[in-house]
């Protein structure tokens, strides 16, 4: 059986978030199992299932090369702006 990764969107406007994984024979059954396993308590309004083998992941060995160089570049953060008054959710 194929291993599937499950992504659930909790509410309209939010992104799909990885919820877990499951085994299923095909995509249609994977979707239904995901519904039963990960949205039993109304956690979601939308589900994606993706064959785990189709995901290309970064390797822990590459962590330094991938992520460390961003550490000393604070100018990439949008922290140098004055927030106009009254703007919320930013």
DSSP state at residue 75: G
Task: Mark 27-66 with x for binding to another protein (rule: CB under 8 A) and - for no binding.
Answer: -xx--xx--xx--x--------------------------
> 28 or 46: whose CB is closer to another protein?
28
End-to-end CA distance of the chain: 44
Which residue from 19, 22, 47, 49 is in contact with another protein, where contact means CB under 8 A? 22
> 36 or 68: whose CB is closer to another protein?
36
**Nearest 10 degrees: Cα torsion 15, 21, 26, 30:** -60
């Amino acid at each position: 059986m194929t291993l599937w990764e499950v992504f659930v969107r909790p509410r309209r406007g939010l992104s799909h978030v990885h919820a877990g994984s499951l085994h299923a024979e095909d995509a249609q059954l994977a979707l239904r199992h995901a519904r039963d396993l990960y949205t039993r308590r109304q956690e979601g309004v939308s589900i994606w299932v993706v064959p785990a083998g189709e995901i290309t992941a970064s390797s822990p060995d590459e962590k330094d090369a991938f992520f460390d160089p961003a550490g000393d570049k604070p100018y990439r953060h949008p922290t140098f702006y004055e927030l106009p008054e009254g703007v919320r959710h930013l």
